[in-house]
Structure formats: C-alpha cells, structure tokens
Amino acid sequence: MAQAQVAVEKKQMRPPIESGCPDGMQYMHPLMIKNFGNWKYHDRPRPGVLHHVAYSGDEIWTVRVGTQRQLGPYEINLLCDIIDQYGEGYVRFTIRSNMEVMVSKWEKVGPLIQAFNDAGYPVGGTGNSVTMISHTQGWLHCDIPGTDASGVVKSLMDELYEEFIKEEMPNRVHITTSCCQINCGGQGDIAINVQHTKPPKINHDLVANVCERPSVVARCPVAAIRPAIVNGKPSLEVDEKKCICCGACYPPCPPMQINDPVHSKLAIWVGGKNSNARSKPMFQKLVAAGLPNNPPRWPEVAAVVKKILTTYKKDARDWERVGDWVERIGWPRFFELTGLPFTKFHIDNWRGARNSLNASAHIRF
Ligand code: SF4
Ligand code: SF4
C-alpha cells in the first residue's frame, strides 16, 4: 500500500527534464506549502528578514543571507549545518545568489542571524539596500568571458558590506555584472560590463579546422567579416574600420580571439531597471569606459561604483531609483555631482544608434 502511494506521488511530480531546476514545491517549508497563494500581508521587521502572515493566521520569517556565489563543499556543509541547527532545515537560493532560510518562530530569527554572522555571512539585501550583485556565469560555466564576473562581485560586495546589511538607500539598488558584451547581462541600476576595445586577433591556422565560416560571417552585426584565403587555407578577415569590437564572432569561432589582458576593459552603466513601479522600465546608459580589468580586487571599478552610490544616496529623493534620480536632475548634473568625466565614448555614434535611441525596454524594433 505504502509503495503504491509512493508510486502515485512520484507520478504526480513533474517529470525530470534534461536541463533546468527541479520542481521547487518539494523543497518548500511546510507552512509555505500549506498557505500557498493565501498570504494576507508581509513586512520587514529588520533588514534581511521578511515576515509573511497568511489568512489562516500562520506566520513565517525568512532570513536572507549573502553568499559568495561560488560555494565549495566546505561552505555548503557549513551553511547547511547552521540551517539544520538554528533553522528548520529549509532553504532556497534567490537569483542573486542569496540563501533564504525559513523559520516558523520569531524567537529563532536572532540566533540564526548570529550563527550566520559568526560564520562570516552577512544578513541583509532586503528593501532599500544594495542587494547582492547578480552576475553572469563567468569562467566557471561559460567559454567566452573576458573577465571573471563573480570575482568582481565578491570584491565589490566586500566594499559594499555595510550597504547590504542596512536599508539606507533612497530605494533598492540592483547592481549587475556581465563578462562579455553580447549575451546574458541584465539591466541594472549600476551595471559593470566587459568592454572590448580592439578587433579580434585571428589565428588563421585554426579557423578552417574549428569554425563554420558562414555562421561567423552572419554573426557580425556590422558586416565586418569576410571569407578569405590566408597562407593557402580558407580563413576569415575583419574590416577593422567597421568592427565595433563587440565580440559576437568569438563564441562561434574561438580562433577570433577578442579577449585580451590589456585591451579587454570594464565599463560602468547606470539607470537601468525592469520594474514598472513609479516609472516605466529603463535602459542603462554608459557613464564610465575603459576601466582596467584589474583582478583580484578591481579597485578602479570599486571607486567609481562607490562614487555613484554615495552621490545617489546623498542627492536622490526617497523612493527614486538611480535612473529616476538621473532623469530628474539630468545627465549633465549627474556627471557634475559624481565628478566622472564626460568623454567622446559616451556618445552613441554607431550608425545603428537610430534604432537603439528609439527603443524602450518594452518594445524593440
Ligand atoms: S555574459 Fe557572456 S561571457 Fe558571461 S556568462 Fe553570459 S554569455 Fe558567457
Ligand atoms: S568583434 Fe563584432 S563587429 Fe568586430 S568583427 Fe567580430 S562580430 Fe564583427
């Protein structure tokens, strides 16, 4: 009978698929399953803690912990031991690499936070804080990064520790990092993106063996790549005057090497947001270009990000996101207040810019 019951339950679960995360319901705290879709209200008793109250009268507290994202077995065991001992054994990851631990009693919240802090993990990231920086996959999972995005995140979050554990910003601040110029970066209040500054260097000996030349030619957004015969072998050539150094040819053809320790830089963009609250979604705009990609602590990037954040904190009105603030004061004033130099690199003079200037986050032509 018990076996039949298990078989029925297994059948009802979502079947395994090749990729993607498993069904989250099976890992949820029992109180969350019981009250699923029936929450009356929620509030934040302190930074880093969410409190949800259900129509049934049940209450649940969620403690948000910042992690360094790339967790090894030691860190995972340490965190799971804390969650088992001080929490109730239920945890989930947010898309910004925080862990959220659910408990059914307020009395458990204090000791849980203390245990995380003692182990060196901060609790925060809620409300008007600088939430954990999201990043693309970097060297760990992807084959085309120009920098290790998670390294930039770790070193910057160390600098912004106080802003993570407190809620003292005018509104929430989402920071993102992206390790190439073309794929999975998002719109952030402040975004740190790789910036290539020279055309790809082609290894002609390898192109014929590794690349499908027509698909590489088709990849280039400005039609700068042509098939060519070099040293008697089929290869490719780049019209360097046309090339905008985007790096789109590198993923389908690694011999078109664009990453470079000196010429792959970092750029900072501000004012992007996906939310519809108070103002429409916005695209981010370039404010600092050509910053050195300087591991392991990226001090030049940290200095610019902190300068923008302190100016925003001082000058913005309550509830203004970074983009709302800049829209109100105007871009000239933004550069004046932050002291960042306005250079020719801030002008979008690419011939396709007519389209990008007409675009919104909702409709792209
Ligand atoms: S941003 Fe680019 S390099 Fe980074 S993980 Fe995404 S596709 Fe790979
Ligand atoms: S870097 Fe971009 S613009 Fe330059 S050749 Fe490659 S795909 Fe074209």
**In this predicted model, what pLDDT tens digit does every residue of 123-140 receive, in sequence order?**
999 999 999 998 888 887
**pLDDT of the residue at 357:** 58
Closest residue (by CA) to atom 4 of ligand 2?
243
Mutate to test the pocket of ligand 1, among 69, 70, 133, 144 (most ligand atoms within 8 A of CB): 144
Mutate to test the pocket of ligand 1, among 70, 180, 195, 246 (most ligand atoms within 8 A of CB): 180
**pLDDT of the residue at 364:** 41
**pLDDT of the residue at 365:** 37
Judged by its nearest atom, the ligand closest to the C-alpha of residue 248 is 2
Closest residue (by CA) to atom 5 of ligand 1?
137
Counting atoms of ligand 2 from 1, which one is nearest the CA of 200?
Answer: 1
**pLDDT of the residue at 363:** 44
Q: What is the pLDDT of residues 13-47, one digit of tens each?
A: 666 666 777 788 889 999 999 999 999 999 999 99
Counting atoms of ligand 2 from 1, which one is nearest the CA of 219?
Answer: 7
Mutate to test the pocket of ligand 1, among 70, 134, 137, 259 (most ligand atoms within 8 A of CB): 137
Mutate to test the pocket of ligand 1, among 142, 195, 258 (most ligand atoms within 8 A of CB): 142
Q: Rounded CA gap, 115 and 61, in Å? A: 16
Q: Rounded CA gap, 191 and 133, in Å? A: 9
Per-residue pLDDT of the chain (365 residues; tens, 9 = 90+): 456 565 556 556 666 666 777 788 889 999 999 999 999 999 999 999 999 999 999 999 999 999 987 888 999 999 999 999 999 999 999 988 899 999 999 999 999 999 999 999 999 999 999 999 988 888 878 888 888 888 888 899 999 999 999 999 999 999 999 998 887 877 899 999 999 999 999 999 999 899 999 999 999 989 999 999 999 999 999 999 999 999 999 999 999 999 988 999 999 999 999 888 888 899 899 999 999 999 999 999 999 999 999 999 999 999 999 999 999 999 999 999 999 999 877 877 666 666 655 555 544 43
CA 153 – ligand 1 centroid, Å: 14
Closest residue (by CA) to atom 7 of ligand 1?
183
Closest residue (by CA) to atom 3 of ligand 2?
243
CA 256 – ligand 2 centroid, Å: 9
What lines the ligand 1 site, CB under 6 Å? 136-138, 142, 144-145, 178-180, 183-185
